Structure 1
Amino acid sequence: MPAGESHTSIRNVSGYLRVSPKECLQQIAWTFIHPEDQDRVREHFRALIAQQQPSDTFETRLLLRDGSTLHLQWTIALYFNDSGQFSSLTAIAHDIDQLYHMRTKQQQQEEELQTFKLLVELAPDGIAITNTQLRMTYANRTFCTLLGYESLIGKTVVDITYPDDHQQLAGITETLQQGQSVHTTIRYVRSDGTLITVQASALGLYNREGQLTGFASINRDVTAQIEAEEELRQSEQRNRVLLAAIPDLMFLLSIDGVFLDYKSDPTGRLLVPPEMFLNRHVTEVLPPALATQILQRIDTIRRSGEMQTFEYQIEIDNQIEDYEARLVLLQDNVIVLSRNITAQRQAERKQLAMQEQIIQAQQATLRELSTPLMPIANGVVAMPLIGAIDSARAQQIMESLLYGVAEYKARVAIIDITGVKVVDTQVAGALIRAAQAARMLGAEVVLTGISPEIAQTLVHIGAELGAMKTKATLQEGIRYALAGKQ
């Protein structure tokens, strides 16, 4: 190359290399190339020489003396002699440092844009962009899948919105046109006609001149969440209705016996107002005996986990009332259900009293039936006995006999034991005492119906029946009494 051009070239390069032109001469070109690029450039030149390529353009970095890096684009011409061997080259370097950085920035921006597009496309929420007429110009894969379409491009938001929500959509659009963002729930119609509820966030899109160009929205499927919340709401409503239907007082106690909450029964009557027992220990509120019972049951339920039941009485408004308490463990707390059973217990006591009266009347009737006393002639009465005789019945026999003797002014009283199967010392003693008492009233007692077995028993036990006349049968006893003689 001409010497002038060579010097000019050297001066320009020396300006970049921060060395004098003289220092540039005789320097190996690789000296100024960035160490990380040297091997690549050498390989590139070897390939160019091997292929006898006359020219080429490539980029590389120079490492300047101050340690900074300069990006250059080289345009080179290679010269070969007649035998095809490389002889020299001419190189022109263009400073592309600013262009390189701009290109690098643009490449970064493109990469970031591609990453952003990928994130949007794979986002778990449905993302859509529309023009100002709400016609979709973009919809990511999730939004299409959410609504059951292969593509939503060209459809309007009105097309996919549930008709009952069109008025709401118009309000949303008006808000967006005023430059405000929107966060709301709205219903869309899927391709199969089913509804989906989404949590939608939308905003307006503007160009550099500030003109509205469209809208962007992010749509999250909350159908299952809404259904679950509705089911929970209905469940809570059912629980409230069921709770209100329970006729019991309900108390929530901590495991150590502090009142935390309550629900009154239909009467609304309480031992003390809520402000006097909530957040207070049972021993501060209830009578000592009742507080002790509750604490004992809490201790038992804490160890066993089984429901505890007991009854108690308490005075409310100067009236003793009966309650039945049930304790159930609820996590770290205890629920106490207290039912007023006063009316039930009063009815039971009344019924028990009536039963007792009936029993007593029945017993009186049975006594009369078991010890019948019959007048059979003027001055003669008979008492046929049947069944077993115990001490109570023996007393009853005596009372009935004496009452009959006195009432009928009897001179002879016949006691027939034909229906008595067993006669022991107790029965014999009862008969003897009855005869002695009757004799005090002026009546003679005749004992009839003695079987051979009973006769042997009376002899065996040494019963003294001398105060009584004995006859084998009731008929003989009656004849004896009517004859009026021994």
Structure 2
Amino acid sequence: MNETRAKEQQDALSARTQRMLDAAPAILCVVGLDERRLIAHNAALARSLGCTDEELSIRGVDALLGRIHPDDMAGLAASAERLKGARDGEVIEGELRARGREGDERIFAVRAEVFARSEDGGAREIFLSAEDVTERKRREQRLHRSEALLATFCDHAPILMYAKDGEGAFLLVSRSVETLVGATPGSMLGKTDSDFFPAEVASIYKDVDDLVRRNGAPLEAEDPVPDARGEKTFYSIKFPVWGEGIPEGAVAGISVDITRVKAAEREREAARDELIAAQQDTIRELVTPLLPIAEGVLVMPLIGFFDGARASRIIETLLEGVERHSARIAIIDITGVKAVDVQVAEMLVHAARAVGLLGAQVVLTGIQPAIAQTLIELDVDLRGLVTAGTLRSGIAYALKRT
């Protein structure tokens, strides 16, 4: 009776222990080395590898070996040899690739130690625990790949790339930044702009960084950067960065050297200004033409309407022409003038007086009846001007005088 009850208690304890093992997410098993069989295992083993309990019971260790990657068999054999001479409590660790439940390759981190020994002290049973680390390994690989790509960009990209913490200390700099300031690789990390740039330049950078932190949004700006060959100009985009492990208030930036672009812009602006000036000179010549028709005789035919600026140009052009050609008579033909007001009349009088000071005479031609009437009504003093009805008669007068 007692033996039966003890057996029942033992069976209940064994069942409870098995339930505990089956609840564990890691693979747990005891392997008998002599019989090459699985003495005990939990449900995670069958679940991870897609084996049935029947298959594990019949084939034992061979069922497991059949799923291990061939390239890892040599390492497994070497670990088994180490276990034979291992001390109690000594753990042998390693990684194995095996075919998973879905037929895909999985990576397992394995721990093994001696579980029981034979009478001669050799390892008779070993305890194995394994954890599926496939996803973790893949994440690590992606992280390593990203870090390698970032390092390559930082080493070879011609643009400036950098990141700073909330205090302005560099967290990351590209090789191009180090080359620009003459720093050795890695020496800028933990330092600030004030360690490499003049105080006034570092202050500008700090103000921009602080603005990005306050607004929490990207900012575009043109940054002046001192250089041994002269100041350079960089187009910069700075932006806040967040994420796990990134210090609060961190700011990153990308800067492109636009010094040549700015120089080209200045050259284009200078060329444009020269072109505009040339066009204005041409326009002035067209609206105030001055024609030498004979030795000492100039003709200036006027058309259209007048304003103060055009009147000043007419007088200026006329005086320059008289002096340049040593003219004795300057004919102003107003046949094409639409109307004459006080401003036009005063311009004609001023022109006559100014030309007279240079020792020449003004002949006014092309006065229409309506314009003559206006001049009379305005009571314009035309003394000093010779008038003629047509340009032809004015030219005849000038040639006769010269």
Residue 268 of structure 1: SS of its match in structure 2? helix
**Residue in structure 1 matched with residue 83 of structure 2 by the alignment:** 176
Mapped contact 1:428–1:463 kept (Cα < 8 A):
yes
Identify if the C-alpha distance between structure 1 residues 451 and 129 changes in structure 2 by more than 3 Å, giving closer, same or farther. Answer: farther
Aligned to 2:98: 188
- Is the Cα–Cα contact under 8 Å of residues 253 and 335 in structure 1 kept in the other structure? yes
The answer to whether the Cα contact below 8 Å between 1:264 and 1:270 also exists between their aligned partners in 2 is: no
RMSD between aligned alpha carbons?
A: 3.9
SS in 2 for 1:201: strand
Q: Is the 8 A contact 1:134 1:215 kept in 2?
A: no
Name the CA distance, whole Å, in 1 between partners of 2:278 and 2:159: 40
Give the direction of change, closer, same or farther, for the CA distance of 1:397–1:211 in structure 2 (3 Å limit).
Answer: same
Task: Name the structure 1 match of 2:48.
Answer: 146
Query: Do the aligned partners of residues 160 and 476 (structure 1) sit closer, same or farther apart at CA in structure 2, a change above 3 Å counting?
Result: same
Question: How far apart in 2 are the matches of 1:214 and 1:352?
Answer: 88
Q: Of residues 251, 256, 259 in structure 2, which corresponds to 1:342?
A: 259
Alignment partners' CA distance in 1, 2:351 and 2:364 = 11
Q: Secondary structure at the match of 1:319?
A: coil
CA–CA separation in structure 1 for the residues paired with 2:324 and 2:386: 22
Per the alignment, residue 245 of structure 2 pairs with: none
Contact 2:166 2:251 in 1 (8 A): yes
Equivalent residue in structure 1 for 2:113, among 192, 203, 210? 203
Tell me, in whole angstroms, the C-alpha distance in 2 between the residues paired with 1:387 and 1:203.
110
Which digits, 9 at most, give the CA deviation of each residue in 1:290-311, with x for residues without a partner?
Answer: 3443444344333322333444
In the alignment, does 2:256 pair up with 1:355? no
In the alignment, the residues of structure 2 paired with residue 256 and residue 241 of structure 1 have an alpha-carbon distance, to the nearest angstrom, of 27
- Report the CA distance between 1:415 and its aligned residue: 1.8
Residue 376 of structure 1 aligns with an amino acid whose one-letter code is I
Aligned pairs for 1:79-94 within 5 A: none
Aligned partners of 1:103 and 1:300: how far apart in 2? Answer: 82
Tell me the equivalent position of 1:39.
none
| Structure-1 residue corresponding to 2:23 | 122
Residue 217 of structure 2 aligns to a residue whose secondary structure is: coil
List runs of 5+ in structure 1 lacking aligned partners. 1-57, 59-99
Deviation at 1:116, TM superposition (A): 1.9
Equivalences, count: 386
The within-5 A match list for 1:7-26 is none
d(CA) in 1 for partners of 2:159, 2:73:
50
Amino acid of the structure 2 residue aligned with 1:330: V
Alignment of 1:228-239 (within 5 A): 228-239=139-150
- Corresponding residue for residue 217 of structure 2: 306
Partner of 2:246: none
Unaligned runs of 5+ in 2: 243-248
- 2:329 paired with 1:412: yes
Post-superposition offset of 1:188: 0.7
What is the alpha-carbon distance in structure 2 between the residues aligned to residue 439 and residue 224 of structure 1?
Answer: 101
> CA 1:342–1:413 in 2, change beyond 3 Å: closer, same or farther?
same
User: Which residue does 2:355 correspond to in 1?
Assistant: 438
Could you tell me whether the CA contact under 8 Å between 2:178 and 2:188 is conserved in 1?
no
Contact 2:217 2:239 in 1 (8 A): yes
Which protein has greater RCO, CA pairs closer than 8 Å, 6+ apart?
2
CA distance, structure 1, for counterparts of residue 317 and residue 50 of structure 2: 102
Query: Could you tell me how far apart the structure 2 residues matched to 1:380 and 1:328 are?
Result: 72
- Tell me the CA shift for residue 482 of structure 1: 4.6
How far 1:161 sits from its partner (Å)?
0.9
Spell out, residue by residue over 1:351-390, the C-alpha distance to the aligned partner (whole angstroms, 9 max, x if none).
3333333333333333333332223345432122345555
Equivalent-residue separation in structure 1 for 2:365 and 2:36 (angstroms) = 122
Distance 1:142 1:417, change over 3 A: farther
Q: 1:455 to 1:161 in 2, by over 3 A?
A: farther
Would the alpha carbon gap of residues 190 and 253 (structure 1) be closer, same or farther in structure 2, given more than 3 Å must change?
closer
1:270 and 2:177 are equivalent in the alignment: no
Query: C-alpha separation between the residues in 2 aligned to 1:238 and 1:216?
Result: 42
Cα 1:191/1:296, change in 2 over 3 Å: closer
Give the partner amino acid of 1:186. Answer: L
Aligned partner of 2:281 in structure 1 is 364
Matches of 1:135 and 1:275 in 2, distance apart? 56
- TM-score with structure 1 setting the length: 0.66
Could you tell me how far apart the structure 1 residues matched to 2:349 and 2:287 are?
19
User: Tell me, what secondary structure is at the counterpart of 2:103?
Assistant: coil
Residue identity matched to 2:27: G
TM-score (norm 2): 0.77
1: CA distance, partners of 2:104 / 2:14: 35
Equivalent position of 1:158 in the other structure: 65
Distance 1:344 1:267, change over 3 A: farther
% identical equivalent positions: 32
- Measure the CA separation in 1 of the matches of 2:257 and 2:225: 10
Partner of 2:391: 474
